[in-house]
Amino acid sequence: MTNLCSSARAGFAARFGRAPDGLWSAPGRVNLIGEHTDYNEGFVLPLAIDRRTIVALAPRDDRLMRVASSFAERTVELGLDDLIPENLADWSAYPLGIAWALGQFGADLGAVTGFDAYIVSDVPVGAGLSSSAAIECAVAVALNDLWQLGLELRTLALAGQLAENQVVGAPTGIMDQSASLLGRVDAVVFLDCRSLHAEVIPLGCDPAGLDLLIIDSQVSHAHSTGGYASRRASCELGARLMGVPALRDLGVSDLARAAELLDDETFRRVRHIVTENQRVLETVQTLREQGPTAIGALLDASHLSMRDDFEISVPELDLAVETARAAGAIGARMTGGGFGGAAIALIPSGLRPVIEAAVGAAFTARGYVAPVMFVVRAADGAHKVE
């Protein structure tokens, strides 16, 4: 964190020739359980992780926005009067898209000042850990302060989602931004994606001697295209044919009727969502009553449902999950939108070297690119750092 902060300060000074007014930070997230349930108005259980994006920012006297990132050589400039989604592209669509989206949620963009912003991050990009929400939420809390908007965290989450949907063009739900804004140390965020009611639930990994191991398969995923959009379409079709506003409204007892009414593929998509919602609720209850050591079977069942019913896994993720389980993980599942990205394994801390070695060896044996493995801890959500 300290290193990241000093590189944010140094980078800002190098690009803009002055010191920033402040530093704001937001974490990436990993989803413990509840996959593709968010846009079905169901339940998710993510946590903010100790990988963060920092934005160093200072206001300008004029109406120009200048954004720069350690990821990109070019500094992108845009006037506030030209701030429409059509003018935004590439990585700068994330920070500038947030500025636009805040306007949709009440910020008077005709009256605010411009700013200079410099962004650094140690959230891996494209690994399913939502570097996109981290950058959106860091900029959102920074602009909320700079422009004295006084918007609530839940509104900032909606602004992040709007930017991602309308500006970036990725049809994602509200989960990533909610986790990045609301997360807490050693806790998960239980989010009802219909009411947007959020509750912080103790995870208890530290006292239980457990670690959350991320196994980044190095297979890159593409959110805005292909599989993700088609899964959303299947869910919408399933809900329409079942006569409910969203799949959230179906329970396990509706599955027999769904099997009769729907074609096989749509049925399996629906079954994943219905059972996954149920698993999120059971995970919350199990965490409360028994602690994290008891949630392994729920994580395992979630993976199988994504592999077989929702069909969003890839062989690398299946191998990571199976190998981690065989080597002593309490439970494991792929996480994130699918088609690549990462798996998580809940592991006894002492077994970490054994499990990492087993997964590494299994990937080598299949001729896969070596996975990148690291432990994450549940961390606090977005805030002003200094």
Could you list the residues that contact Mg ion (CB under 5 A)? Answer: 130, 132
From Mg ion, ligand ADP, none, interface partner of 71 (C-beta below 5 to 8 A by class): ligand ADP
User: Which residues within the stretch 6-65 sit at the binding site for ligand ADP (CB under 6 A)?
Assistant: 53
Residue 143 beta carbon to ligand ADP: minimum distance, rounded to whole angstroms:
16
Residue 123 or 210: the one with the smaller Cβ distance to Mg ion is 123
Residue 92 beta carbon to ligand ADP: minimum distance, rounded to whole angstroms:
8
- Determine, following the binding rule CB under 6 A, whether residue 128 of this chain makes contact with ligand ADP: yes
Among 25, 31, 37, 130, binds ligand ADP (CB under 6 A): 130
Other Cβ atoms less than 10 A from the Cβ of 365: the count is 10
Rounded CA-CA distance 62/76 in Å is 16
- Determine, following the binding rule CB under 6 A, whether residue 234 of this chain makes contact with ligand ADP: no
Cross-strand partners of 199? 190
- Determine, following the binding rule CB under 6 A, whether residue 119 of this chain makes contact with ligand ADP: yes
Rounded CA-CA distance 138/371 in Å is 28
Which stretch, 107-115, 126-134, 245-253, 286-294, contacts ligand ADP (CB under 6 A)?
A: 126-134
From Mg ion, ligand ADP, none, interface partner of 119 (C-beta below 5 to 8 A by class): ligand ADP
- Determine, following the binding rule CB under 6 A, whether residue 305 of this chain makes contact with ligand ADP: no
When CB distances to Mg ion are compared, the closest residue is 132
Q: What's the sign of the alpha-carbon dihedral 214, 218, 223, 229?
A: negative
User: Of these residues, 38, 116, 176, 300, which one is catalytic?
Assistant: 176
User: Which residues within the stretch 80-99 sit at the binding site for ligand ADP (CB under 6 A)?
Assistant: 91, 94
Which stretch, 2-10, 125-133, 261-269, 366-374, contacts ligand ADP (CB under 6 A)?
A: 125-133
From Mg ion, ligand ADP, none, interface partner of 121 (C-beta below 5 to 8 A by class): ligand ADP
The 180-219 contact track toward ligand ADP, x by CB under 6 A, reads ----------------------------------------
Rounded CA-CA distance 199/270 in Å is 26
Among 31, 37, 40, 131, binds ligand ADP (CB under 6 A): 131
Residue 156 or 319: the one with the smaller Cβ distance to Mg ion is 156
Residue 309 is a catalytic residue: no
From Mg ion, ligand ADP, none, interface partner of 91 (C-beta below 5 to 8 A by class): ligand ADP
Among 34, 97, 126, 173, binds ligand ADP (CB under 6 A): 126
Q: Residue 330 CA to chain centroid, in angstroms? A: 23
- Determine, following the binding rule CB under 6 A, whether residue 142 of this chain makes contact with ligand ADP: no
- Determine, following the binding rule CB under 6 A, whether residue 312 of this chain makes contact with ligand ADP: no
User: Which residues contact ligand ADP by CB under 6 A?
Assistant: 53, 69, 71, 91, 94, 119, 121, 125-126, 128-132, 135, 223
Active-site residue set: 176
